[in-house]
Amino acid sequence: MKTTGFAGRDFLAETDFTPQEIKTILEVAEELKRQHGMGIYHDDLLRSKTLFMLFYNQSLRTRNSFEAGMTQLGGHAHYLDPTKIYTPALEGKEVAYSTERVSDVARVLSRMGDAIAIRCYGDPVEWEYGGSHALLEEFAKWSDIPVLNMEDDIYHPFQGLADVLTVKEEFGGFKGVDFTMSWAYSPSVHKPRAVPQSAILYATMLGMNVTLAHPKGFDLAPDIIKQCETYADDAGGSFKITNDFAEGFKGAHAVYPKAWAPVNLFQPPVGDYDFEKSQEIMDLYKSWKTTSELMDTCDKKAIYMHCLPADRGYEVNNDVMDKTEGLGWRSAIFDEAENRLHVQKAVMSLLMK
C-alpha cells in the first residue's frame, strides 16, 4: 500500500483529503485491525511520541480510543482539560489570567509533542456555527505538528471514518449501498451538526446512494450539501433529501438516525440563538424514533448505526440498539465504536510518523 504524502498534515476535515487518500486510510485501518485481532501490536510506529488531547467537551469513545491507540502504537496521549489550564482562546476573546492565546499554546505544544488533537463545539463558542472550526484552524496555523479534529461544529472526521469502515466491513464496499442519514428526536437541543455532515460527506465521496432525511427546519449547511452533490456526481453514487422519516428506511442497507439541533439554535446569521424556540421545534417531531417495525422495512441485511451516546427511548428503542446478532437486520453500533480505535490508529500512524 502506498502511504506517502500524509506525514505532517493536519486532519481538520475529510474534505482536505482526496477520495483515494481516504481509501488508503481505510486500508491501513483494516490491516491494523486485522493484526490487532491476531495480537500483533505495532508499538514501534509512534514510539516515544506524544499526542496532546484538548477537550472543551466531554467524551467517552473519542478520548479512550485515542489514548488506547497511542498506547498500542508505542506513544502516549496527554489529556488536557481547558478549565484546568489557561484556556486557549482566539485573539479578541481573551480574559486576563484565565486564557492564553491559541497562537502561543500551539507553538509551546509544538516544541514538546508530535500532534495536537482538539474537541470543541457548542457551548464553548456559544453556538456560533463555525466558531470552533475557526479555533482548530488557528491552532493549525501556528502549530508545527499535525492538528487533529476530534469533533468541532462542522466536522467529526474520525467518527465518519469509523462509520464508513463499518459499512465496508458489512457490505464489502460502497457501490450500490443505500445509506440513509436521518434526524431522530432527542429531548436535548445541545446536538451539533458535525456527525451527520461528516457521515454524508464520506458516504457520497465513496459512491454510496445517500438519502438525508430530516424535518423542515433541521437543514444542514448549504456548502456541505453542495459538496455532497459534487461527490455523488464524481463517484457515481446519488444524493437526495427527504422530509419523510419512513421513506429513509425503505430498502436501505444502512440507516443512521441521530439527533441534531434545528437551525434556530445557532447564532446569527445561521439562526437566532433561541434555545426555547429550538426546543419547541424539536418536540414537534417526537415520532421520529427508530423502532423494530421501521427497521423491518429496510433491506433484510440492513444495519442500524449510531455514533453514541444515543438517547434510548427517544431516538431509538432498546430492542433496536441491542439487536447485535441474529437473523435479519442488526445493530452495528459497537462495531462503529470499536472502529474509532482502528481508523484513528491509521491516521496517527500516517500523519505522525
Question: What are 85's three cell numbers?
Answer: 489550564
Report, at the CATH architecture level, how domain 14-154+339-351 is classified.
Answer: 3-Layer(aba) Sandwich (3.40)
Distance CA 38, CA 55 (A): 32
Please report, for the chain, how many H helices and E strands are present, in that order.
Answer: 11, 12
String of DSSP letters for 142-182: H-SS-EEES--SS--HHHHHHHHHHHHHHHSSSTT-EEEEE
Question: Quick one: residue 52, left, alpha or beta (phi over 0 = left, psi -120 to 50 = alpha)?
Answer: beta
Domains 14-154+339-351 and 159-338 share a fold: yes
Q: Where are the domains positioned within the chain? A: 14-154+339-351, 159-338
CATH of segment(s) 159-338: 3.40.50.1370
Does residue 333 contact residue 310 with C-beta atoms inside 8 Å? Answer: yes
Predicted TM-score (pTM) of the model is 0.96
Q: What is the pLDDT along the chain (353 residues), one digit of tens a residue?
A: 344 599 999 999 999 999 999 999 999 999 999 999 999 989 999 999 999 999 999 999 999 999 999 999 999 999 999 999 999 999 999 999 999 999 999 999 999 999 999 999 999 999 999 999 999 999 999 999 999 999 999 999 999 999 999 999 999 999 999 999 999 999 999 999 999 999 999 999 999 999 999 999 999 999 999 999 999 999 999 999 999 999 999 999 999 999 999 999 999 999 999 999 999 999 999 999 999 999 999 999 999 999 999 999 999 999 999 999 999 999 999 999 999 999 999 999 999 98
35-91 pLDDT, tens digit per residue, is 999 999 899 999 999 999 999 999 999 999 999 999 999 999 999 999 999 999 999
Q: Is the peptide bond before 269 cis (omega within 30 degrees of 0)?
A: yes
CA distance 271 to 263: 5
